[in-house]
Chain A
Amino acid sequence: MTNHWIDIKNSDCILICGSNAAENHPISFKYVTEARKKGATLISVDPRFTRTSAKADIFAQIRSGTDIAFLGGMIKYILDNRLYNKAYVAAYTNAPFIVGKDFSFKKGLFSGYDKTTRKYDKKTWAFELDEKGVPKMDRSLKHPRCVFQLLKKHYSRYTPDKVSRITGIAVKDLKRIYKAYGATGAPGKAGTIMYAMGWTQHTVGTQNIRTMAIIQLLLGNMGVSGGGVNALRGESNVQGSTDHCLLWHIWPGYLKTPRASNGSLDAYNKKYTPKSNDPLSANWWRNYPKYSVSLLKSFFGEAATAANDFGYNWLPKVDDGVPYSWLDLFDAMYKGQIKGFFAWGQNPACSGSNAGKVRQALKNLDWLVNVNLFDNETGSFWKGPGMDPAQIKTEVFMLPACVSVEKEGSITNSGRWMQWRYQGPKPMGNSRPDGDIIMDLFQRIRALYQDGGAFPEPIRNLKWDYLTDGKYDPHKVAKEINGYFLKDVTVKGKAFKKGTLVPSFTYLQADGSTSSGNWLYCNSYTEKGNMAARRSKRDAVNGIGLFPKFAWCWPVNRRIIYNRASVDLKGEPWDKNHWVIRWTGSKWIGDVPDGGWPPLGSLEKPDPKSKWAFIMRKHGHAQIFGPGRAEGPFPEHYEPLECPVEKNLMNPQRVNPVAAIFEGRADTFATCDPRYPYVGTTYRVSEHWQTGLMTRTQPWLLELQPQVFVEMSEELAKLKGIKNGERVLAKSARGSLECTAIVTKRIKPLNIAGTVVHEVGFPYHYGWRWPESGKEDSANLLTPSAGDANTRIPETKAFMVNIVKI
């Protein structure tokens, strides 16, 4: 989230699309309700009427996988009716930037597409630069090749009629939604988006969110209170685990995993440190080497020296242009290329899309280590449905982790708040904190490498001194993540002693004199103490619910990021009532500002001491035109890989031309196939969590939602002769699932370009291990191995199925 949970109360219009907050983030509705009681409009757009929809002022049923059409139509509406905040758009976004002459968009393809590699050459998407190397701009937004004019042209095709025919939403409902949300373009008004996996789990996931980001920028909703682009993250610490980069492509703090071509630390830093020639661009990532070197110092401690590139080459590198993501990992495992596997606090046998393939892949392993609170479908895959243990060679180690209330440490919520939690009871039985298990295991591995082994340096040199009295000590790790001064140094006129904690990332250095396990968390555990453990209920001076001394949030406790865009050029807030920051004439007050520089003053003669508002962007401006994305700088509607329509009504390309698609034996797909006539989607319910391992083992929660189900319209049920509450079989090209039919008024047949399309939906919380009946299994047995072109997140939100009576 660019904003945070409490801030939702400051919104004038809340769009919940691609999420179901009332069910999956129930406490968010404390603030949604508060906003509504003050007059805010709540809009729910979903493939079915949910508990969120039940509270909404406006509800529209959308066909899964058509969000870009829906949102693209909103962009057109905002532009046609001049609802955008022109001063904001001209000053803070790249709308005035001039795009090169060779950029084009024809027949659903942007310039530079190569059919054989299914990739774009992005060079024609670049901005025109002036003689100093700064992008050329037309702040009047009139230049025919400026981003604003290209945007208008691109979305001129997204007429209400066409959008309606794609999405299934009636034209009058579209207009009602566009009008209500577009009204937040008025200065002082704020609209917010609450989205989640309903937008990310598509072959166009990244561009779904880009489309909304464009809307938020046009309406001046970024950086302001009650606004923002708010991903409602699904696990208690998925924000923290992402920040610390348990992901193949990034290192802690969103640094890049080195590619094989980045042969030295210097080459690596040069490659990933952006350069701007614009003195008004803060270009924050110019600090990249300070963060990468400090990270290496945290990895390898004293063993990391300038002479050995701080241990840079001790860390693994990935091949250029080769992905190692979830889908690729299980594809490699399916092909027998992976021998050993850790499933640590995760249950891929149920959570992975095309779960049948995942389960088969596990058979190819030599060994599997499964660390969890409960036995699960991954650890016990060898005795799951259709498995013959005698034929499965995989050795499995199942390690009992303790429950969160039995250990100490921090987690980071969706609003980027790092919060400390304490130990209540001791771990039950012989279960142990994950941290304890990790510390212990690595010590044992390291011991084996004292007598040699392949490339032992990183194993011998990894800094691993986080025990106190022989036990894992979370405070020691939290301090390492924050970082230390490793020498007596003077930075920015302040003297710091060796061994003290670094007060914030602005003090980190690229010469090895500081360490920081994650620069974004530098400021979280300082000489003043553990910031995440703070509990003050006093609000900030602006009274908008920031609670700056309750817990801690990254970066540097800034509660609303991009907040320099919440003010006009003079530093006056757009919204006088719910202001985030304000320039007093000499300093900023309110939230921690996105840099302390004075306001711009004017666009004609900006204060040379000032900086453009979006400090993380190379050119200092938010990207309406996003030339870095895999499938193009503007989002375009493409159909899901499996879809019910022969043609994309928006352009001749049916599916995302660069989507991640797997084509092995286990990766079959069926589009417009009469065997699988209905659109399927997956979701969660309030009473269960993720694959359900931590909820379907609980009698109280199982009582509320005891069985996997499929929701369908009364019309479809009638067509198939299915009665409410009876068990039916759902089938896709990949697998089948027995489930209970919920026949409901909350799903209606959709009118898609004159044709009736039925959609059904499944919660994915179940698995054969629990409940003990063994009859409830994962909806991911149905979902496809296809993914987003940028993130490779699987398309589990839109696929094709059939439903049959048993």
Chain B
Amino acid sequence: MNVSRREFIQITGATAAGLAVSGLGFDLSPVKSRAQMLKTQYARETVTICPYCAVGCGAIVHTGKRGAGRVINIEGDPDHVINQGALCSKGASLKQLAENEKRLLEPMYRAPNSDKWRTVSWDWALNEIAKRVKATRDATFTAKNAKGQVVNRTTAIASVGSAAIDNEECWLLQAMMRALGLVYIEHQARI
């Protein structure tokens, strides 16, 4: 991805690595700063849109090319025509959303009346959910309502969400839920 830098500012009399040169032979790196090299220097750049409010600000994601390949830095995209590089406190902290030790990383299951979570595999979780969907749907499916009109639905399964997923995912989600016969389909736009 070719991301230009219209914020580029001119430095005269200094090269990119000029800071180390003190003439005195000391390490003059500022505390907690990498003065000679940008931490993003060898990162891969991708553009994204902020996942918080609906202004739709652009941001640049710097991902490490080596090691775990995780996010090194996220900051405003200067080439985005709306925010032109700006981000609010939430947008500015996006890296911490991705690189967050509290994130869920495995499917989990809580059995009836249990007081704890159990880590499970995706295979197991999705198969079990599919079975529950079928059992509940088949047991409650209504072909005709009280007036005898064709309704082909179940009102015993409901779904809420989500304004936080992509358009393509929203479309798939509603298609799946409608094909299953759900009518209780709602999300954030209602509240």
Contacts and interface: CB of A to CB of B under 8 A. Distances in A.
Direct contact of A and B (CB under 8 A): yes
A236 B51 CA distance: 5
A27 B80 CA distance: 12
A518 interface: yes
Contact of B190 (A373, A477, A770, A791): A791
Contacts of A477: 168-169, 171-172
Contact of A352 (B48, B169, B189, B191): B191
A405 B108 CA distance: 23
Contact of B112 (A373, A394, A521): A394
A751 to B, nearest CB: 32
B188 A235 contact: yes
Interface in A653-680: none
B107 A400 contact: yes
Given A345-B162, A444-B130, A699-B96, A332 B184 contact: yes
Interface in B100-117: 100, 102-115, 117
B96 to A, nearest CB: 4
B42 interface: no
B68 to A, nearest CB: 8
B51 A27 contact: no
A497 B54 CA distance: 37
B166 A409 contact: yes
B71 A346 contact: no
Given A246-B186, A392-B113, A409-B169, A27 B82 contact: yes
Contacts, number: 478
A375 B162 contact: no
Interface stretch (A58-66, A155-163, A413-421, A507-515): A413-421
Given A429-B105, A455-B141, A252 B171 contact: yes
Contact of B149 (A244, A261, A407): A261
A790 to B, nearest CB: 12
Nearest to A395: B112
A440 interface: yes
B169 A238 contact: no
Given A299-B179, A342-B159, A704-B89, 13 more contacts: A5-B55, A236-B52, A325-B186, A411-B49, A412-B167, A424-B46, A438-B169, A477-B169, A481-B168, A517-B171, A695-B93, A698-B100, A770-B102
A433 B63 contact: no
Contacts of B188: 234-235, 238, 241, 346, 351, 690
A263 B164 contact: no
A252 B174 CA distance: 9
A448 B185 contact: no
B166 A411 contact: yes
B141 to A, nearest CB: 4
Contact of B103 (A338, A348, A390, A431): A431
B129 interface: yes
Interface residues of A, number: 162
Given A27-B57, A397-B129, A448-B131, A383 B115 contact: yes
B125 A397 contact: yes
A346 B152 contact: no
A340 B127 CA distance: 15
B191 A794 contact: yes
B152 A315 contact: yes
Contacts of A341: 157-160
Interface in A351-404: 351-353, 366-367, 369, 371-375, 382-383, 389-401, 403-404
A701 interface: yes
Contacts of B103: 373-374, 400, 403, 428-429, 431
B127 A444 contact: yes
Contact of B178 (A316, A383, A389): A316
B155 to A, nearest CB: 7
B6 to A, nearest CB: 9
Contact of B175 (A243, A299, A431, A455): A299
Contacts of A791: 190
B-side binding surface: helix, strand, loop or mixed?
mixed
B158 A329 contact: yes
Given A317-B153, A369-B129, A404-B48, A438 B172 contact: yes
Nearest to B174: A246
Closest 6 CB pairs of A and B: A429-B105, A413-B56, A345-B162, A409-B166, A316-B153, A346-B161
A687 B52 CA distance: 11
B157 A340 contact: yes
B37 interface: no
Contact of A425 (B1, B71, B187): B71
A118 interface: no
Contacts of B141: 454-455
A718 to B, nearest CB: 32
Contact of B160 (A252, A344, A481, A704): A344
Interface in A678-717: 686-690, 694-695, 697-701, 704
Interface stretch (A458-466, A641-649, A732-740): A458-466
A302 interface: no
Interface centre among A329, A366, A383, A690 (most CB of B within 10 A): A329
Nearest to B82: A5
Interface centre among A425, A478, A796 (most CB of B within 10 A): A425
21 contacts: A28-B55, A237-B164, A244-B170, A263-B149, A315-B152, A317-B149, A318-B153, A332-B158, A342-B159, A346-B163, A389-B114, A397-B107, A405-B61, A414-B53, A430-B106, A444-B129, A686-B89, A688-B90, A690-B188, A698-B97, A700-B89
A284 interface: no
Contact of A233 (B46, B54, B91, B110): B54
Contacts of A299: 175, 178-179
A382 B110 contact: yes
A422 B107 CA distance: 25
B189 A242 contact: yes
Given A422-B1, A697-B100, A238 B168 contact: no
Contacts of A6: 81-82
B171 A458 contact: no
Contacts of A326: 160, 186, 190-191
B190 A448 contact: no
A337 B183 CA distance: 13
A279 interface: no
A770 B145 CA distance: 44
Contact of A481 (B79, B125, B165, B171): B171
Interface string A574-599: 00000000000000000000000000
A410 B134 CA distance: 31
A803 B170 CA distance: 41
Contact of A415 (B56, B93, B159): B56
B90 A689 contact: yes
Interface centre among B52, B62, B174, B175 (most CB of A within 10 A): B175
A346 B160 contact: yes
Contacts of B154: 316
Interface centre among B89, B117, B134 (most CB of A within 10 A): B89
Nearest to B100: A697
B39 interface: no
A333 B150 contact: no
B9 interface: no
A134 interface: no
A247 B111 contact: no
A535 B79 contact: yes
A27 B171 CA distance: 28
B50 interface: yes
A339 interface: yes
A344 B82 CA distance: 29
Given A444-B127, A770-B102, A435 B166 contact: yes
Contact of A246 (B86, B117, B143, B187): B187
Nearest to A258: B151
A238 B189 contact: yes
A459 B179 contact: yes
Nearest to A424: B61
B157 A324 contact: no
A409 B168 contact: yes
B167 A244 contact: yes
